[in-house]
Amino acid sequence: MSDITIYHNPDCGTSRNALGLIRNSGDEPTIVEYLKTPPDRGTLEALVAAMGIPVRAVLREKGTPYLELGLDDRTWSDEQLIDAMLQHPILINRPIVVTPLGTRLCRPSEAVLDILPQPQRGAFNKEDGEAVVNAEGRRV
């Protein structure tokens, strides 16, 4: 079992690219498709705390019921925002990656490079063709 976990949405290019970078380091992570298997409250709160970012920074706006639910109202408490994410997992921004070196919301996908325990093993291009890692395994 891997010591890396990715909270993944296979329909998201950023999430697919982060997964590709993890695999390019030689690791096969535990993949949690969080839309099918949402985290519970304790897990979601622990992930937010481990990332060291505000709960609101984990909210995804695009392609979600963010505006319909009125989540742009800054009076929502962290607890209420967590409740909304638990009720509508699509509101959880992705990908969130957990490694022995830290937990991070990997947007852009190459942010995952900062927390991978193993170096890249070769060149990696994002799905759109953008080079991220060169043939020597270094960031471009």
User: What's the pLDDT tens digit per position in 73-101?
Assistant: 999 999 999 999 999 999 999 999 999 99
| 4, 6, 12, 106: the active-site residue | 12
Average pLDDT on 21-26 reads 97
Domain ranges of the chain: 5-127
Output the pTM of the full model.
0.95
Where are the extended beta strands (E) located within the chain?
5-8, 30-33, 96-99, 102-105, 124-125, 131-133
Q: How confident is the model at residue 42 (pLDDT cuts 50, 70, 90)?
A: very high
Straight-line distance from the first to the last Cα atom of the chain, in angstroms, rounded to the nearest whole number: 30
Average pLDDT on 14-31 reads 98
Residues 7 and 66: their CA atoms lie apart, in Å, by: 20
pLDDT of 1 over the 70 cut: no
Average pLDDT on 62-67 reads 96
Q: Two tokens at 56?
A: 């609101």
pLDDT of 10 over the 80 cut: yes
Q: What is the pLDDT of residues 101-138, one digit of tens each?
A: 999 999 999 999 999 999 999 999 999 999 999 999 99
Architecture of the domain delimited by 5-127 = 3-Layer(aba) Sandwich (3.40)
Residues 6+ apart with CB under 8 A from 40: 86
pLDDT of 22 over the 80 cut: yes
H-only helix segments in 59-117: 78-87
pLDDT at 2: 77
Q: Are 34 and 89 in contact (CB under 8 A)?
A: yes
What's the alpha-carbon Rg for the chain, to the nearest Å?
A: 15
pLDDT at 86: 98
Residues 6+ apart with CB under 8 A from 112: 18, 21, 22, 95, 97, 104, 106
Average pLDDT on 21-50 reads 98
12 given a catalytic annotation: yes
Q: What is the pLDDT of residues 27-40, one digit of tens each?
A: 999 999 999 999 99
